[in-house]
Amino acid sequence: MSVFDRFSLEGRVAIVTGASSGLGVTFALALAEAGADVALGARRTSLLDETRGKIEALGRRCVAVRTDVADPADCEALVAAARDQLGGADVLVNNAGVGRVVPSHKDDPAEFARVLQINLVGAYQMAQAFGRACIAAGHGGSIINVSSVLGMVSTDAPQSAYSASKAGLLGITRDLAMQWTLRRGIRVNALVPGLIHSDMTAAIEADEKASASALASIPMRRLGDADELVGALLLLASDAGSYMTGSFLVVDGGWTAQ
């Protein structure tokens, strides 16, 4: 097997949540280009259908399922669609998430809880559904939890709920790796992006003070592009990363190196 063959996902089925826009679309297309058939989950079905069309244009099979990861039944349904319509579930990219920029003294506890329910509890519920499917099928798999450097560092933009959810996702990554890798053959890692041009970073980019502070903390002095996450994603998803579990793969322009 060549070096490049180890990055191939031919014959595998990947599930991507939050696949209707932003990083989710980039991730889904990258997995398809690497050879995977893809099950897409998101709440916005019209945009989800657009992503499905792009994947099918690459010659890969694809199924799109309206999915609210905050609902455990939806998580189970997405994994079931991958299994029943595409033949299995080998890779899960836990990408669904929402942001919230608000000073903590003005924050609504219900909104704080909503962010955690989607970003943290939702990712856990998707991992549970995926893990059960792998265990039932008697094979391993790869879970990639999309966290953020804001689970490790801070910016001038007040984002307590988002930061807490992404820090919690790192804890879940470590715990599930310990539970499932040896006994179940399921690798669990976190992809940790820095500030990447997307809908999620729009609020920071629009805030002159927060943007200047963030750029000053990044040795490369720029935000990243979504395509710059693809190499790390494929490493974690494929056999090229077969000795990685419980790892946090940081792609942040050097921010956390300081």
Catalytic residue annotation: 162
Question: 87-99 burial, b if ≥16 CB within 10 A, otherwise e?
Answer: ebbbbbbbbbbbb
> Contact, 106 vs 161, CB < 8 A?
no
Strand intervals (E) in 13-149: 13-17, 37-42, 62-66, 91-94, 141-146
Spell 142-168 as b/e; 16+ CB within 10 A means b.
bbbbbbbbbbbeebebbbbbbbbbbeb
Greatest extent of the chain over all pairs of C-alpha atoms, in Å: 56
Instruction: Fill in the amino acid letter for 90.
Output: D
Question: CB of 8 within 8 A of CB of 32?
Answer: no
In contact, 186 and 141? CB cutoff 8 Å:
yes
Cβ neighbours around 243 below 10 Å, total:
8
Residue at token pair 């990055």: 7
Cα 36 to Cα 49: distance, rounded to the nearest angstrom: 18
CA distances from 114 to 11, 97, 119, 161 (A): 37, 11, 9, 9
